[in-house]
Amino acid sequence: MHQQEPQQQLPHAQASTSTGAIRRPGQSTTQSSTGRGVIQRVGEKGDSTGVGQIGRGMEKLSIQPTTGGSGDAGAAGPVAVVASGRGAARGKRILPADIFVTKPSHVTNKKGTSGSHKVITVNYFKVLKATDWALYQYRVDFSPEEDRTMVRKGLLKIHQKKIGAYIFDGTVMYTSRRLSDRMVFTSTRQSDEQHITITVRLVGDMLVGDAHYIQFFNIIMRKCYEHLKLKLIGRNYFDPNSKIILPEHKLELWPGYVSSIRQHERDILMCVEITNKVMRLETLGDILNSLYHQDRSRFRENFCNAVIGTVVLTDYNNNTYRIEDVDFSATPSSTFPLKNGESITYVDYYKKKYDIRISNPGHPMLVTRSKTRDRQAGEAERVYLVPELCRTTGLTDAMRENYKLMSSLAVETRLHPGKRIEKLLKFNKRLCKEPAIAQELSEWNLQLDDKLLQIPARQLLNEKIFFGGDVFTNIEHGDWTQAMINKKCVISPRLMEWVFVISERDRGCAEGFMTTLLKVSAGIQFQVEKPKYEYIRDDRPGTYNEKLEQILSKRVPQLIFCAVSNNRSDRYSAIKKKCCVDRPVPSQVCLTRTMTHKNIKSISTKIAIQMSCKLGGAPWYVDIPLEGLMIVGFDVCHDTTSKKKDFGATVATLNRRMTQYFSAVNVHETGEELSNDLCDNICKSVQAYYALNKTLPERIVIYRDGVGEGQVPQVMDREVEQVRKRLSGLYGGPDKYRMAFIIVTKRLNTRFFENNNNPEPGTIVDDVITSPIKYDFFIVSQKVRQGTVTPTAYSVIYDNLGMNPDKIQRLTYKLTHMYYNCSNTVRVPAPCHYAHKLAFLVSKFIHRAPDTQLQNTLYFL
């Protein structure tokens, strides 16, 4: 049974000093708040559903016919529909009103045709069930009221023989057989011998395809995980008994599973992915002691910076919490009131309840929050945790920069496809062989297939990469690095006046690097003259800032090249702020150790291409046989210094070969601002296209990244509609242009396998595991050197282009060849990748919109 943490009863808690302390009862109220962070409950044990109170008071759905609107392509709305025919479930399947249908009304066939057909394996298992399978939902009430979910479950379980097989989340009960509309039971609560009356009322039945119907399967599966003794941390289940210890890095790796059961094209399928949780062996108490010995004068500030906002695990009850604050006025020796009114110290509480002896009674207390349902019940929100009983989860930025550590983790986490398949089948076998799970599933007349699903796929033909002089090469495996040697660039600007900035200490490595850079530049016909050298006394951020201001205040060169000794983000930030905002000029930053690398010729070629692109150059293109086409990429990144700010970046192509670009960045704090900025920037892109081509683009394809599942209705209602409205005004009517709006999703749990290996780039899937309410497809567009490749999902939510699905799929794959930072295909279409690159640069390093003087080049590469 889940045990709640001791809480501070602080109905009038005052804010704190700079240490972030929250006032305890009786403490002076003359302090002021830090306002650090926002707390949320990350995960908890005890609720076997893991989804809370679902479907409360849900009524039986009324069914409406599908409406196509007024012939507007893509105008499918959130209405209930009856699906049948091709692509539908067997028989008639009900799609309820709370499911948002994004499949445009004119799309009847979303399958492509080009390429060679093949069969691949996916990490899905079919959920087998009886054909006529009903699900009934009941509301369960307790009198007198009982707030604790585990107690409510125990009181109802006494009557399981009368009810039969059921699932209960504390409020809503599901059964697969119809019971009486109203039943009353009586149970006795063991803790105080109180008689409790339980009333069970029928809410309604759920039809196949109902959102809650599918959710029920996920509830069943999470219950099965508990039979396997897996631990719920956050939203996923992990297996601490199979943990991998990395003592040299003071880390543990807990293997786990992410699963999701959904209605796909014709079947209900369960997707299962192998995941991992990084657990630190050191406690927050250890971190506090370490920081105290490092700098006693600032250990409080350093400790707050290190722990506030982190997620911690408490081993004694296997709960996770997000740390909101640190209270240096409270210690484990402090007392707090129990519910019965008695006071007890934290030291005594943990000794009595968990038989844990606290060794550092003088440590400050960590402040987090109580469970959501406790807050809704009006109970105290703040929970105090003892540092030495908390372990942090996840990796710090410093850890991610530790090559040895990340290599050790990669061995365990980046599984080869064959190894991943082995683990998936082993997990499936555990599910099928566990007697308690077998009984649970049989009671519901359910069965999980014991083999991974095999589905049809297609392999697109390899693309031709065109270089300067219309020389082209056929590529294999999505890589043309070797083919690029001595090939001319498609567009080659001249770099005549540029400045090379390097510290006096590192000037010795500059000449050799420059000789190689000039030589490889000539090889790709990028004409580069020798730079003007500027030497600085040291490599501090302020020194670079002063030198750049001195250079750029006189005469702005074509490009600034800064050689730096390491990856310090503050130095990089200072350089980019100066060159992107204060004194706009294309800039290149390079590590000095890179300049002396053994593969310096290959590295110099990539640097030369980067420099060329920042001046308007382009190294290659792929043939896209469509006139008047403009591709727009859009992505959003959160500002790293302010939780309220986001930066949205728009990058659009301006010519037929997709080699010239327009870009814009906006800061926004609300969804409305984001929608308005996207509309404004697409209109600016159209005007930039007109300025170059003397005609407006006939077709506009927008690839929108950075959208969560729950944000799709908002994107449809706000962004798509506003973009259409603004473009119709710009063009003089909605029939003067054609547009498609495609949502790009990179973070997927779906994995593809082909003969125990990764499928080749160009693998397309548009059936079986796709959604019946979406116009969607998957593409594997890149080759990975280690681990299992992740496909990218595309969902077309608006489309009146007049192009068939095959052409949209091929166009999307072609665009993954056009990212100039590497000579291989990437996961998403190039404009979308450029938009992410720009949004990331601004949100992490610049924190302000760059100057518009740079908007017609890829200055952010």
Round the average pLDDT of the chain to a whole number and report it.
Answer: 83
Compute the distance between CA of residue 134 and CA of residue 269 in angstroms, rounded to an integer: 18
At 395, the pLDDT band (50, 70, 90 cuts) reads: confident
Residue 177: CB atoms within 10 A of its CB come to: 11
The partner residues of 753 in beta bridges, in order of sequence, read 121
Q: Tokens for 592, please give them.
A: 């000095």
In this structure, CATH architecture of domain 492-614? 3-Layer(aba) Sandwich (3.40)
Confidence of residue 326 (pLDDT cuts 50, 70, 90): very high
* Tens-place pLDDT, residues 627-641: 999 999 999 998 888
Query: Would strands 532-536 and 498-503 be described as parallel, antiparallel, or unpaired?
Result: parallel
Q: 306 or 425: whose pLDDT is higher?
A: 425
- The Cβ-side half-sphere exposure at 838, using a 13 Å CA radius, reads 34
Cα 270 to chain center, whole Å? 20
Secondary structure string (H, E, C) spanning 30-73: CCCCCCCCCCCEEECCCCCCCCCCCCCCCCCCCCCCCCCCCCCC
Please determine, for residue 642, whether its predicted confidence score (pLDDT) is greater than 60.
yes
Widest pairwise Cα distance in the chain:
90
Q: Across residues 434-448, what is the average pLDDT?
A: 86
Active-site pick, 301, 450, 673, 851: 673
The catalytically annotated residue of 47, 210, 324, 635 is: 635
pLDDT band at residue 56 under the 50/70/90 scheme: very low
Q: How far apart are CA 396 and CA 337, in angstroms?
A: 36
Residue whose pair of structure tokens reads 């270089």 in the numeric block: 467
pLDDT score for 800: 94
The pLDDT of residue 687: 96
The single residue of 388, 705, 766, 767 carrying the catalytic annotation is 705
How many other CB atoms are there within 10 angstroms of residue 189's CB atom? 16
pLDDT in tens, 126-141: 988 755 567 888 999 9
Measured CA to CA, the distance from residue 855 to residue 666 in angstroms comes to 12
Rounded to the nearest 10 degrees, how much is the dihedral formed by the CA atoms of 393, 399, 403, 407?
0
C-alpha distances in Å from residue 29, one per residue of 15, 32, 336: 8, 8, 19
Q: Determine the 3-state secondary structure of 465 from DSSP.
A: strand
pLDDT score for 663: 97
CA–centroid distance for 380 within its chain? 32
Confidence of residue 61 (pLDDT cuts 50, 70, 90): very low
For residue 821, with 0-12 CB atoms within 10 Å meaning exposed, 13-18 middle and 19 or more buried, which class applies? middle
Beta strand ranges found along 677-737 (DSSP E): 699-704
- pLDDT over 50 (residue 605): yes
Class of 622-854 in CATH: alpha beta
- What distance, in Å, lies between the first and last C-alpha atoms of the chain? 53
Q: Of 664, 772, 643, 745, which is closest to residue 262 (Cα–Cα)?
A: 772
Question: Helix, strand, or coil here: 731?
Answer: helix
Please name which of 652, 722, 659, 658 lies closest in space to residue 684, comparing C-alpha atoms.
652
Q: pLDDT digits over 752-777, tens only? A: 999 999 999 999 999 999 999 999 99
Rounded percentage of the chain residues whose pLDDT exceeds 90 = 53
> What local confidence, expressed as pLDDT, does residue 124 receive?
97
Is residue 856 exposed (0-12), middle (13-18) or buried (19+ Cβ within 10 Å)? middle
Q: Are 349 and 389 in contact (CB under 8 A)?
A: no
Using the structure block, give the residue that is written with the tokens 């209602």: 717
Question: What's residue 696's pLDDT?
Answer: 96
Which pLDDT tens digit goes with each residue over 648-661? 999 999 999 999 99
pTM of the model: 0.81
pLDDT at residue 585 in the model: 96
pLDDT of residue 268: 87
Distance CA 80, CA 98 (A): 8
Flag whether pLDDT at 435 surpasses 60: yes
- What is the spatial distance between Cα 6 and Cα 317, in angstroms, rounded to a whole number? 13
Cα–Cα distance for residue pair 569/572, rounded to 1 Å: 5
Segment 385-393 shows an average pLDDT of: 91
**Number of alpha carbons in the 13 Å side-chain half-sphere of residue 217:** 26
Rounded Cα–Cα distance for residues 275 and 123 (Å): 13
Write down the pLDDT at residue 45.
33
Given a cut of 60, whether residue 36 has pLDDT beyond it is no
Structure confidence by residue, pLDDT tens digits, 730-740: 999 999 999 99
Query: Quick check: 2 pLDDT over 70?
Result: no
| Mean pLDDT value of segment 429-444 | 88
Q: How confident is the model at residue 370 (pLDDT cuts 50, 70, 90)?
A: low
468 and 452 Cβ atoms separated by less than 8 Å: no
- pLDDT of residue 311 exceeding 50: yes
DSSP bridge partners of 272: 259
CB 498 within 8 A of CB 607: no
- Per-residue pLDDT reduced to its tens digit, 194-205: 899 999 999 988
Is 705 tagged catalytic?
yes
% of the chain at pLDDT higher than 70: 86
Question: Is a pLDDT exceeding 80 seen at residue 27?
Answer: no
Return the structure tokens found at 148: 């604790």
Higher pLDDT, 662 or 646: 662
Residue 475: the pLDDT is 82
CA angle, 338 as apex, 333 and 339 as ends, to 5°?
165
Structure-token pair, residue 40: 């949320």
Q: 262 forms bridges with which residues in the sheet?
A: 269
Least confident of 14-28, 513-527, 735-749: 14-28
Predicted confidence at residue 606, as pLDDT, reads: 92
Six token digits for residue 604: 């110099």
Active site residue 847: no
Compute φ and ψ for 730, nearest 5 degrees: -70, -40
* CA dist 339 → 173, 344, 537 (Å): 30, 11, 65
Structure tokens at 509: 């490595």
Confidence of residue 610 (pLDDT cuts 50, 70, 90): very high
| Range among 58-67, 98-107, 529-538 with highest mean pLDDT value | 529-538
Q: Token pair for residue 748?
A: 């997927």
Task: Please indicate whether residue 635 is annotated as part of the active site.
Answer: yes
Please tell me the distance from the alpha carbon of residue 243 to that of residue 252, in angstroms, as a whole number: 6
778-803: average pLDDT: 94
Distance CA 631, CA 651 (A): 8
Question: In the annotation, is 47 catalytic?
Answer: no
Backbone angles phi and psi of 41, in degrees to 5: -75, 125
Look at residue 807 in the predicted model and tell me its pLDDT: 96
> What is the length of the chain?
861
The DSSP secondary-structure symbol of 506 reads: G
CA angle 407, 408, 410 (to 5 degrees): 60
Residue 236, strand partner residues: 233
d(CA 139, CA 152): 13
